[in-house]
Amino acid sequence: MSSSQGPFLKAPVWKPEIGAYLFSGGLAGASAVLAFVARSRGNHRLARRALLTAAAGAAVSPPLLISDLGRPERFHHMLRVFKVTSPMSVGTWLLSGFGAAIGVAAASEVLGVLRPVGLAAEGAAALLGPGLATYTAVLLTDTAVPAWHQAHRELPFVFAGSAAASAGAAAAILTPAEAAGPARRLAVLGAVGELAAAAAMKRRLGALAQPYEREPVRRLDRMAQSLSITGAAILGLLGRRRPAAALGGALVLAGSICQRFAIFRAGFDSARPR
Amino acid sequence: MAVVSGPPPYPDTRVAQPRPGQAVGFFTDSSICIGCKACEVACKEWNHVPTDGFNFLGSSYDNTGELGANTWRHVTFAERPAAPGGGDGQMRWLMNSDVCKHCASAACLEVCPTGALMRTEFATVVVQEDVCNGCGYCVPACPFGVIDRREEDGRAFKCTLCYDRLKGGMQPACAQACPTQSIQFGPIEELRTRARRRLEQLRQEGRKEARLYGVDGSDNEVGGLHAFFLLMDEPGVYRLPTRPATTTRDLPAMWKAAAAAAGALAAGVLLAFAGKGR
């Protein structure tokens, strides 16, 4: 009686906003690191654009998360406690700290005031950024959903790669080509890491990777692969020309979004196989 | 056809009144469940649980389906061959009243980011409805698919083991309503003794298929259930997972992997600048 073997779970109740946040949080976190390192290397044009991208990602994230709540007006109940056993609690505090730091850094950059404070805030955001980009993997794996839980060793690396790819791609689109070399290299590096980690994740999952072979996840997953590969190739080979950088960057961003939604949707199918 | 014949299994009706601070729970003996659903009705009445729809599921005598935000007791009806192997074509029902397991190591409680889910002085797991903000994290965390969000309300709901009645020195409504003592309420230790004694009795009657489910931590990775069962077939037949696990037991490995990936991300950015700043 294979149908009697379970897993007898409830499907997640999260709306697509959470899938979008997986992307926006990763983009913000990795962009903050990119901004900080670019600044320390004296590449201020790249730093400025990565910083503003991080601030934009951090700005859209809380509304996405709050609108997903069953009782949005009670969003601040998240701030009653801090629990390491709850990745959502850890993430709440990470995003709050990151948002405050990146907000101060971006305001200082744009207004040109309080630069020492702005630079310190940029450093603080860069310190929290990698955690913001990868804790969301734990958010998914710390559930009973087989396709998420059993991927807990690889999923953070998929998300780290996806975040790096999207941060590099966004900066490559926004930055003049002669200053965007590191952004292009980060996008390529991230895309390669994302795809390699996703392949390792599916190998580990074995039979539990079935959702990735069924619609609608299958199409999203395939699109993520082809968009990321094509975009990274264009960025890597032709990225010195601005139009090519814009096209390649857009494809990598789209690939990263598809990757997040493929993994997000796979959990629903895994919890309640049809 | 009665599943069990012979003397009444529990002549000593009264289970000791629990004291605050004492772990309590349910022992559900499916071998004497008659599928009357008095538990489902009593639960809804007492707890003001809204309707879960007037649905015809085409699944034996079960039109409730499964546990959820609006179903805190659910009687499963499994139609199985009367004889092992099913040679003579005779069928029998395997009925069992399912409920929240109030796990000793409860994933719903551990992942709750607001502290709305709490452990009571009776060692049961309860959602504080004035705190829950409907984040939904408990829903996919539960290895039994028990807790769910009530969409028209926005918050998460599940069995409270009648916390209000316990405080008033009463037993939960389902146990009170059960006409066959299939649902027994009391201090966990006493229920465990009863369950093991009952298993022994059934085994002596030749019912080799009888087994306990979740009576301690030996057949699960949730630290034992505070609502455990005596079953007459494989757990899957009753919609119960074979070896349930609390997701948070792997949390150290998860945070370690995330930290390593965060390090890789930072290293990747540095690598992108290798040698040149632009």
Q: Encode burial over A238-263: b for 16+ CB neighbours within 10 A, e otherwise.
A: ebeeeebbbbbbbbbbbbbbbbbbbb
> A149 contacts in B (CB within 8 Å)?
247, 250
Query: What integer is the mean pLDDT of A186-199?
Result: 97
What pLDDT shows up at residue A2?
A: 37
What pLDDT shows up at residue A22?
A: 98
- Each domain of chain B, given as residue ranges in start order, spans 24-245, 247-278
DSSP-derived pairing of the beta strands B227-231 and B148-149: unpaired
Q: What is the pLDDT of residues A209-247, one digit of tens each?
A: 999 999 999 999 999 999 999 999 999 999 899 999 999
CA distance A243 to chain B (A): 18
Confidence category of residue A40, pLDDT binned at 50, 70, 90? very high
How many Å apart are CA A47 and CA A110, to the nearest integer? 12
Q: What is the pLDDT of residues A72-94, one digit of tens each?
A: 999 999 999 999 999 999 999 99
What pLDDT shows up at residue B90?
A: 83
Answer yes or no: are the C-beta atoms of B85 and B64 closer than 8 Å.
no
Closest-CA residue of chain B to A7: B241
Determine, for residues A159 and B135 on separate chains, whether the beta-carbon distance falls below 8 Å. Answer: no
In order of A29, A164, A187, B48, the CA distances from A182 in angstroms are 17, 11, 9, 61
Q: Which residue has the higher pLDDT, A3 or B42?
A: B42
What pLDDT shows up at residue B29?
A: 97
The dotted CATH code for B24-245 is: 3.30.70.20
| Residue A196: inside a domain | yes
> A10 contacts in B (CB within 8 Å)?
68, 139-140, 142, 145-148
Q: What is the number of CB-based contacts under 8 A between chain A and chain B?
A: 238
pLDDT at A131 over 80: yes
pLDDT at B98 over 50: yes
| Residue A100: inside a domain | yes
Report which of B115, B114, B92, B111 is spatially closest to residue B103, judged by C-alpha positions.
B111
Beta strands in chain B (DSSP E): 24-29, 73-81, 91-99, 117-119, 125-127, 148-149, 156-157, 183-187, 211-213, 227-231
Query: What integer is the mean pLDDT of B24-45?
Result: 97
> B265 contacts in A (CB within 8 Å)?
29-30, 33, 129-130, 133-134, 160, 163-164
Q: Residue B60 class from Cβ within 10 Å (0-12 exposed, 13-18 middle, 19+ buried)?
A: middle
Confidence category of residue A6, pLDDT binned at 50, 70, 90? low
What pLDDT shows up at residue B191?
A: 94
Q: Which amino acid is at B132?
A: C
Answer yes or no: are the C-beta atoms of B272 and A168 closer than 8 Å.
yes
> B263 contacts in A (CB within 8 Å)?
130
Q: Which residue has the higher pLDDT, A124 or B51?
A: A124
The reply to whether omega before B18 is within 30° of 0 (cis) is no
CA A142-A261-A248 angle, 5° bins: 130
Residue A65 CA from chain centroid, whole number: 14
Confidence category of residue B2, pLDDT binned at 50, 70, 90? very low
Answer yes or no: are the C-beta atoms of A175 and A49 closer than 8 Å.
yes
Q: What is the pLDDT of residues B194-230, one digit of tens each?
A: 999 999 999 999 999 999 999 999 999 999 999 999 9
Provide the residue range defining the domain that includes A77: 13-271
pLDDT > 90: what percent of chain A?
Answer: 96
In order of B15, B97, B180, B181, the CA distances from B11 in angstroms are 11, 21, 11, 10
Tokens of A123: 């450093």
DSSP tag of B150: -
What pLDDT shows up at residue B58?
A: 86
Determine, for residues A12 and B245 on separate chains, whether the beta-carbon distance falls below 8 Å. Answer: no
What pLDDT shows up at residue B7?
A: 60
Mean pLDDT of chain B: 91
Q: What is the pLDDT of residues A60-76, one digit of tens each?
A: 999 999 999 999 999 99
Confidence category of residue B89, pLDDT binned at 50, 70, 90? confident
In order of A203, B30, B94, B234, the CA distances from B237 in angstroms are 31, 12, 8, 6
Q: Encode burial over A147-176: b for 16+ CB neighbours within 10 A, e otherwise.
A: bbbbbbbbbbbbbbbbbbbbbbbbbbbbbe
Residue B191 CA from chain centroid, whole number: 16
Residue in B146, B238, B269 to test binding to A, most A beta-carbons within 10 Å? B269
What pLDDT shows up at residue A5?
A: 58
Q: Which of B139, B254, B273 sits opposite A142 (nearest CB)?
A: B254
| Residue A4: inside a domain | no
Determine, for residues B269 and A135 on separate chains, whether the beta-carbon distance falls below 8 Å. Answer: no
Q: What is the pLDDT of residues A155-187, one digit of tens each?
A: 999 999 999 999 999 999 999 999 999 999 999
What pLDDT shows up at residue B88?
A: 72
How many Å apart are CA A78 and CA A65, to the nearest integer? 11
Q: Residue A66 class from Cβ within 10 Å (0-12 exposed, 13-18 middle, 19+ buried)?
A: middle
pLDDT at A41 over 90: yes
pLDDT at A109 over 90: yes
Q: What is the pLDDT of residues B154-204, one digit of tens each?
A: 999 999 999 999 998 899 999 999 999 999 999 999 999 999 999 999 999
Q: Which residue has the higher pLDDT, A223 or B58?
A: A223
Q: Residue A45 class from Cβ within 10 Å (0-12 exposed, 13-18 middle, 19+ buried)?
A: middle
Main-chain dihedrals φ then ψ at residue B187, nearest 5 degrees:
-60, 135
Answer yes or no: are the C-beta atoms of A103 and A109 closer than 8 Å.
no
| Residue A17: inside a domain | yes
Q: Residue A144 class from Cβ within 10 Å (0-12 exposed, 13-18 middle, 19+ buried)?
A: buried
What pLDDT shows up at residue B84?
A: 65
Determine, for residues B261 and A137 on separate chains, whether the beta-carbon distance falls below 8 Å. Answer: yes
Tokens of B118: 């709490």
ipTM higher than the 0.90 cut = yes
Confidence category of residue B13, pLDDT binned at 50, 70, 90? low
pLDDT at A3 over 50: no
Query: What integer is the mean pLDDT of A23-45?
Result: 97
Confidence category of residue B17, pLDDT binned at 50, 70, 90? confident
What pLDDT shows up at residue B15?
A: 64
**DSSP per-residue codes, A195-226:** HHHHHHHHHHHGGGGGGGGSTTHHHHHHHHHH
Answer yes or no: are the C-beta atoms of B99 and B27 closer than 8 Å.
no
What is the three-class DSSP state of A172?
Answer: helix
Q: How many residues does this entry show for chain B? A: 278
Mean pLDDT of chain A: 96
pLDDT at B85 over 90: no
Residue A232 makes CB contacts below 8 A (sequence gap 6+) with A165, A187, A188, A191, A192, A248, A252
In order of A146, A149, B225, the CA distances from A267 in angstroms are 8, 9, 26
The CATH number of residue A167's host domain is 1.20.1630.10
What pLDDT shows up at residue B50?
A: 95
Determine, for residues B273 and A37 on separate chains, whether the beta-carbon distance falls below 8 Å. Answer: yes
Query: What integer is the mean pLDDT of B48-57?
Result: 89
> B276 contacts in A (CB within 8 Å)?
181-182
To 10 degrees, what angle do helices A44-68 and A155-174 make? Answer: 130
Q: Which residue has the higher pLDDT, B80 or A71?
A: A71
What pLDDT shows up at residue B45?
A: 97
Q: Which of A71, A80, A157 sits opposite B264 (nearest CB)?
A: A157
| Residue A6: inside a domain | no
How many Å apart are CA B76 and CA B59, to the nearest integer? 10
How many Å apart are CA A10 and CA A14, to the nearest integer? 12
Query: What integer is the mean pLDDT of B50-70?
Result: 90
Confidence category of residue A12, pLDDT binned at 50, 70, 90? very high
Report which of A124, A51, A49, A52 is spatially closest to residue A94, judged by C-alpha positions.
A124
Answer yes or no: are the C-beta atoms of B3 and B32 closer than 8 Å.
yes
> B272 contacts in A (CB within 8 Å)?
34, 168, 182-183, 185-186, 189
CA distance B16 to chain A (A): 34
Residue with tokens 């309080």: A114
Number of domains into which chain A is organized: 1
Please list the residues that pair with B92 across neighbouring strands. B80
Indicate the pTM of the whole model: 0.94
Determine, for residues A81 and B262 on separate chains, whether the beta-carbon distance falls below 8 Å. Answer: no
> B138 contacts in A (CB within 8 Å)?
none
Q: Which amino acid is at B225?
A: L
Closest-CA residue of chain A to B261: A157
Report which of A145, A158, A137, A139 is spatially closest to residue A201, judged by C-alpha positions.
A158
What pLDDT shows up at residue B53?
A: 80
Residue A268 makes CB contacts below 8 A (sequence gap 6+) with A11, A12
pLDDT at A1 over 50: no
Answer yes or no: are the C-beta atoms of B250 and B110 closer than 8 Å.
no
